[in-house]
Structure 1
Amino acid sequence: MPREIVPKIAIVFWFAASVACLDTPEFQRNLPAKVIWGVLGKDVELPCDITPPIPSDNFKMVFWFKDTDGMPLYSLDARGGPLGEASHLAMSDDLGSRSYFIKDEQPSKARLRIRNVTIHDEGVFRCRVDFDNSPTRNFQVNLTLVVQPSAPRIFNAEGNEIKRNSSAGPFLEGDELFLSCQVTGGRPRPSLTWWHNNTLIDGVVDSSETSFTIVNQLTRRHTPRSFWKSHLECRASSSAIAGDVVRVVPIVVLLKPNKVKIVTPNDLLSIHKPQNVKCETSGSYPPAKLTWLLDGKPIRNAVVTEEVTDSFTGSIISLNVVADNDGKDLVCRANNPRFPGGSLEDRRQIHVAYPPKVSVKLDSGVNSPVKEGTDVTLRCDSSARPSPYGYRWYHDGHLVALNESGGVLPIDHILTLKSIQKKSQGQYACFATNTEGGSYSSPFDLIIQYAPRCKKGYEVMRVGIVKHEPLVVQCHVDSIPEDVRFSWTYNTSKGVFPVLGAKMHNNGGVSTLHFNPSTEDIDSLSCWATNDVGKQEQPCLFYIIPAETPESPRHCILRNASHGGLEVACVAGADGGLHQSFVLEVNDVTIPSPPPGVTTLSDQGEAKLLYRALGDKPMFRLHSLHPGREYQIMVYAENAKGRSEPPVLLPSVRVEAEIPADTLHETDTTTRPGSEGYPSSRQNLTVILVALTAAAVLLIVGIVATAVTIACRKTPAAARRQTTRRKSSDDLEMSEAGFSEGFQRRSAQYRASMYGLQETEDRISRLIDGPDLILAPVSFSQQNSEY
């Protein structure tokens, strides 16, 4: 017989003989049972307190039984020695071999460890403890296996299940988040919790104790930003020793931008070049879109460069500004297109450098138009950044220089005019400059009100008087306002007397007096005018002289007209004190061819008067002359006293080419010999004046263009010498940009004077006012003669 079997047999017989009466079923049912939970496949420890009831007593033996089996599955024998040397005996091949009794330093914590618990291990275990002197003790343990619940299922707020490998959401940052986790079964009743980053965020079960389905609803009133790119865990567990059944669900959280900044320094912007401005935003998911606004309006057609990552967006705009953008708000707005209302913006007030925008204003307290003699202050108002550092003033296109004695004081943006006179009237402009450039203002019309004065050329006149005939005199005055009142006086050797009872007709600045002198002792007439400003200081004088016949015209020339025919132009002589008109008579003096066999003793043909023309000026155009014939032209003047003697005679006049018969000569009236009245040449005069004016303008343009070309071809050295001799044209001449047509015309005249063209303009003026300077064409015929 093997030696190891002997102790077992001895123990069995000892156990059967001594304690058989204590292991009856009745005894076991009355023992209290402590429930111990075990997990399938894991170790479990069943407690057994081996502390002696009496301190002096000693532990002797321990027996472990399962269910109603009368034979122990495991025993510990400490008879005959200390507890540490006790022998362990497993009575069962399976359960006993996987069991081992652990003697703790504290006897109350002694326990039986069962390794790798199986489903068959579940049941009621009893621990029997024998002592040397004390009664035997029994402890009953109910080993129950833990049953885990089902895998958790997760549902959203709409009740839809979130499948595995799917995400929950999207949720908006700051908005409500709701998820529901559900499990079924489990023993004991399982716990159900929500976790984020291993932190418990909800451990409250929302179902009843008797419900087979266990639910935990996760509700967050404000979805935190920390949930972005993370996941939530629903953990279910029936026992801590069994671990957790876990369902992980990724969540999608949409974030609004939490930062946006225009990072480029807020420097002064120039209108002359684009400026790059950068804006950055972060914190948005998906990445935010950056938009630019200026003065509340989106910036369009601008070059924009973007840089985008998962949570960062950068935008660089090439900003082209104008002067009107100064002081406006530049806004960089970050917007998450998937996040309603998820926008954030940064704004700054931009400052734009631009050339001055100037205008001329009349100083407050003075009304326009201004009365003569008043002190006037003109102010050059400017809007510019940076502020202007230089100003210039112009009057009718000419630079205004400082003249303290004359009362002209241009100081920076203020122009003071002391005791202004009529000559101060005109268009004023100012020029302001800063680092961005310079600008001219629009012209300001300064209108000056002044008392009447005689119109130029009408200050002193000689008037012829015819005995027993009324005297007709016209007085021309110049004034602002033009509404004037006239009065007349006459001067005799006895004094000055008002003109009474005469017929006077006033029309604007002209007063026509029909006067019948009551005495022959009249030296002169005086015309006085008054307006709201005051009375005329010096009267317009009309010296009374006996009327005479006019002088004959002089310096008459004959030439081809530009549109066919011939032109006759003379210089008028003295009018004899009365209004004079001019008469041209044309006679056909062609010698007729004698018939065959007939001879004549005369070498002159009989003159035949063709027509007579009358004009206010001694200028006439002839269109009715035939080529191959010979004419005699006579010109004279006449007034109420008679005609001039002798008349000017132009003999032997011929035309070279055929003149269209349907072309009309420009006269007022044409008469043939024997008819009444005189021919008129007013239409002739109008056409001539228009043609001469056009020729004069073309001449000025040609001369100015030639002068400019010559000036541009100067060598640099010559240009420098020119600069040292006089001021530059920029200082003397103002740009015409933005000026009215009248201002440009005066500027052109000023340039003509700068290039030595004053003589040319005087000549043109004389061409228009008098016929003695009519210029003959270069291709003038041999009949061009002066008489």
Structure 2
Amino acid sequence: MVLNEKGNKVTNYVLGPYIEGDVISLTCIATGGLPIPKVTWWQENALLDDSSENLSNNTVRNILHMEKLQRKHFHTILTCQASNNDFVAPISTSMRLDLNYKTSSIVAVQGNVAKLPCDITPSFSADKIHIVIWFKEDNEGRLMKPIYTFDSRDNSVLEQGKHWSDELILGDRAYFRFYEDPAKLTINNVLLKDEGFYNCRVDFKQSPTRNSRLNLTVIVPPSSVMVLNEKGNKVTNYVLGPYIEGDVISLTCIATGGLPIPKVTWWQENALLDDSSENLSNNTVRNILHMEKLQRKHFHTILTCQASNNDFVAPISTSMRLDLNLPPLTANLVGEEFPVSAGKLYQLQCEIVGSQPLVKITWWKGHVNVVDAHEKNSDDGNVTISTLTFMPTAEDEGKYVSCNAENPTIPNSALVSGRKLTVLHSPLLTLNLGKNLNNKIKEGSDIYFDCNIKANPWVYKISWKHNDKMLNSNTAKGVIINNQSLVLQNVRRDKTGSYLCVANNEEGEGESNSIHLEIEYSPTCRSKKPAIHEATLNETLEIKCELDASPKEFEFIWTFNNSAGFQQYLSLHRNASAVIYTIKSENDYGTLFCKGINPIGDQEEPCMINVLPRSKLDVLINCTISTESNQSLNVVCTHRLDPDRKHSFIAEVYEFGTDNLLRNLTSTKSSFIIYGLNPGLQIEIKIYIMTEAGSSKAIHLNAVIPRWENLAASPLNFSITPTLAITVSIVVVLVLLSIGLLAITRYRLCKRRKMETNYNEENSLKTKIDDNDVDGDTNTFTIKEEMNPDVVPLATNIKLPNSRSTFQQQPYKSYIHLKDVDDIQVERPLLHPQYINPHPKLVHYNANRMPPYIRAMHPRFAPAGTMPVVHEDQGYSMDAFRPLLTNRISRMPMVALPTQQLTATQL
């Protein structure tokens, strides 16, 4: 027999019903039996309690205590057994524990996911789930037909169970997640119609069926919120205002929709400002926010209106920025005050703090607006720095430079910051002529100047200039300087020119304006010496009368006087500064006089121009051309000059056959080097002498610049071998022996020269080679007069025209001051005899004085029409050539003339 906690006998084999959390106490009593039986409590197949006790009257009892019944105890089977042997089955009684479990509340937000839990854990591990059925109650609490099932009766594992859902109620939005703990029926995109009570029934293979009940509540969030300003207008662009400091604002936030009814609140940043919402009709809620006396701290603050009716999803809200127009708080020039120098660039910075929106900044220098400024704003826009770049001038001294900061949206909000400029500058000077004076002064007058100075700091030096030259005080010469004043006494014409004053201070130097002073005087001759003009009979001269005067408004008087005492007044040329004068007879030679008259007066002494017969001196005799180097020529002329005159030599270089002037050279010597001419260019050179009496007759020369690209010697490539080294050693020994022999020979020659000296001095020869005397038929040439300088050709390979032979030549150099031809150092150019057509202007006449390897040999050693050039060390004797020469030319200088205009002849 089983008694419940109230002592009542349990009937119908049902315990309860109890509810979750209850504590129960069940007593099982067994009567009779020998020996005394043992009483035990079992839950399903599990032993719960075996602590039985013996009572009187041959009875035994066992009291079972179960605390805090749980959902898992629902419909569990409790059994009481009594047994005193192992031979027969114990007697027992079983009963079902009935449990009324609590209804679980589930909340889901419309549109989200609802998760309905269901305990599907079997009472013992050997059991398994057959089927899970979900029901939804109707409005009267009655179960409807199943809306979802999970059937695993035909499968050994749950993963193979079959899912089914009602298409009308759940469609494909639901799924039973049996693998979660606890298992859940998830409903996606929850709708308001999904709200209600749900039952989950779980049937096991062995355990009793288990039921659970859930209440699903679906929350519908508010649909929208809207903010109205104090004028009832909807706030757009999420910006409130702009307002100004001290304004009072009233903002209304209205929320629409939502189940349950939402609550509307106002927030500033993260701080709650107002939660006093009120419900209105048409399913709306509102909250009115009042803010009095807006302050600078409210600038750009974020105000948010929220509407919420649950804690599961974020509230819907709208935020806006509170915009304020604020005046600038401060405006300050940055940096210390300091003097500035004129003409240098400086920067002034003005810092403005606190203006919203951005401040308008203007710069002023005195009453003039300055625009050369740029601005930079801080990231938050609260600070603006304006930088003015300016170059002060002396006129800015003492001016007030300032920056003006103003918020154009707020009247009377301007702030000004500035400072007075101290400008250091170099002196500024203004030169003035004394009162009652102008810049045209007659000789003998007194003049004074005033120099006005503006400078900071003041000047430490004042000076005066006349025609850019420093002017010093000299009372004896009538120049008196007294600081800022200049006095010129009894001025003469040399005082004509520009005057200015100069002052210096620590900032630099300043110059005044220039005043040009014109000293007026009567005409005088420009040259103190009489002019000379030379002319031949019937030659026409243009004779100029060159005068100095101020003003230059002349009248001219011309007269003529010759050696015969004839004087003539040339009235025809009274107003002319030049006359055309023709020498028709000897009587026309004489002296011309010219005299000028201007408004100041007549010329005191006339100018003299002597007209003389043209001199037979100052002539060019001959000019020669030699090649100096690639692209240049050397021109040397002989001449006859008048030693009492100054001379200039002029060379004009033209492209041949044209008037194209290539060079115009002037020299005090009768030689020129003409540079920069292109190889192969044919030119014409005009050379003449220029004196004060005119120019001489010109000499014309023609030349062609040689091409040098084929004249360079080819480099030798060789390597040093033992055989070559031995050979070189032998050659060195032979050279040393030759030098000894050469010294002996030189000694003998010196003795012979002394014997010939007296005779040679009496018969010195003057030579001049005349092209017209060359006669190819007679194989002779004539030596007329020595007009050319002594030159020696340096070694360079040159090929003669119409010849296959070559000889060695380089540009000519003068050796006129050498004592002996043997002093000339000439590099040995040839390694074997070469035959050339002898050119009379390339022949060395003093063969005794020539280096051995360029001596001309006797014609018998050469083919007809040629002359061999043979090395003496090859066995040829100089005695073979001596009959051709005489002792009369033993001291004659060597002559080598260019070949440009000459033809070769036989010796």
Structure in which a larger fraction of residues adopt helix: 1
TM category, shorter: 0.3 to 0.5
> So what's the TM-score if we normalise by structure 1?
0.38
Higher RCO structure, 1 or 2 (CA under 8 Å, sep 6+): 1
> So what's the TM-score if we normalise by structure 2?
0.33
